[in-house]
Amino acid sequence: MTTSIHALSGAYAVDALDDDERAGFEAHLPGCRDCQVEVAELRRAAAELAHDVAEEPPAALRASVLGAIATVRPLPPEAAPEPALEPTAATTPASNVVPIGRSRRRRLANLAVAAAILGVVGVGAVTQPWNPDPTSPSRNLSAADRVLSAPDAEAVTQRFPDGSSATVTRSVSEGRAVLSTKRMAAPPEGKAFEMWLRIDGRMAPAGLMTDGGDQTFVLTGDGGAATAVGITVEPESGSAAPTSAPIAYLEFEGTA
């Protein structure tokens, strides 16, 4: 089944998502101010539930905790993010993340470094060369233009802490989805970004992206039938099914 990712806010606030859903929602959160606000409010409401359950811990625990923190240095504040990009996930403690999320964040951190380098070399520079692989997304810009200008075009954007962003625009009437990246870091050595269309609950390969930067391309497959688009890091030759947690997961609204 498919679902609007916004509807997961309540379950996320009380940790009632499974690992995959949690990773998907945490990928969505940085780009969605509404969800950030709602999650903060609902967490606060949930915290009120804990009023009745307070119980003094054993006295010895105090000495144990205070002794333990003496050996740990608090993390420095994070570099001031742009306000619109401030992810709620980043305001929750670093170790308060499932392993899957942690690895994703580490990848994002790597991307951030790469993006920073890109930024020095030339942001918003020329279009990157396309993957010559014939199975890769079409570079037919007129098809992309048709989707982008379609009357029923709907767009979902996800922004990342490093300032890069990915936007998926799809048109049901055109039956296509278009991915546009801004300041995207290049994939790690020997890897590629693989795009996926979520159709009927399954992830169908929709093309490979071997470069970062600012790109626009039409995804392979029936973008009109897709409920979401995911991006994962895969071996350069691509995978038949995602082998890692998405670094981006963009869900179309109104597909619940």
Partner 1 sequence: MDDSGFPTSVPSSEGAGVAAVVSRSTAADQTGPPDLAELLRRCGRGDEQAFATLYDAMAARVFGLAKRVVRDPAQAEEVTQEAFLDIWRSSGRFDESQGHAVSWMLTVVHRKAVDRVRSAEASTRRDTTYHHENHATEHDSTAEAATASLEAHRVRQALAGLTQAQREALDLAYFKGYTHSEVATMLDLPLGTAKTRIRDGLIRLRDHLGVGQ
What is the binding site for partner 1 (CB under 8 A)? 1, 3, 7-11, 13-18, 21, 36-37, 40-58, 61-62, 64-66, 68-70, 72-78, 86, 88, 90-96, 98
- Minimum CB separation of residue 17 from partner 1 in Å reads 6
Nearer to partner 1, 47 or 240 (CB): 47
In this structure, the chain runs to a length of 256
- Minimum CB separation of residue 3 from partner 1 in Å reads 6
- For 236, residues 6+ apart whose C-beta sits below 8 A from its C-beta are 190, 191, 192, 208, 210
Nearer to partner 1, 62 or 129 (CB): 62
Output the six-digit token pair for 207: 């093309």
Nearer to partner 1, 3 or 149 (CB): 3
- Minimum CB separation of residue 34 from partner 1 in Å reads 12
Q: Read off the amino acid at residue 46.
A: A
Nearer to partner 1, 96 or 142 (CB): 96
- Minimum CB separation of residue 88 from partner 1 in Å reads 6
Nearer to partner 1, 109 or 155 (CB): 109
DSSP string, 123-156: TT-SPPPPP--TTSPB--HHHHHHHHH-TT-EEE
- Hey, which residues does 199 pair with through a beta bridge? 202
214-249 exposure pattern, b = at least 16 Cβ within 10 A, e = fewer: bbbbbbbbbbbbbbbbbbbbbeeebbeebebbbbbb
Nearer to partner 1, 62 or 106 (CB): 62
Nearer to partner 1, 59 or 120 (CB): 59
CA distance 91 to 39: 12
Which secondary-structure segment (H or E) carries 231? strand 228-235
- Minimum CB separation of residue 93 from partner 1 in Å reads 3
- Minimum CB separation of residue 237 from partner 1 in Å reads 34
The number of beta carbons lying within 10 Å of the beta carbon of residue 167 is 19
- Minimum CB separation of residue 25 from partner 1 in Å reads 11
| Contact criterion met (CB below 8 Å) for 167 and 179 | yes
- For 188, residues 6+ apart whose C-beta sits below 8 A from its C-beta are 107, 110, 233
Query: Within 13 Å of residue 74, how many CA atoms lie on the same side as its CB?
Result: 3
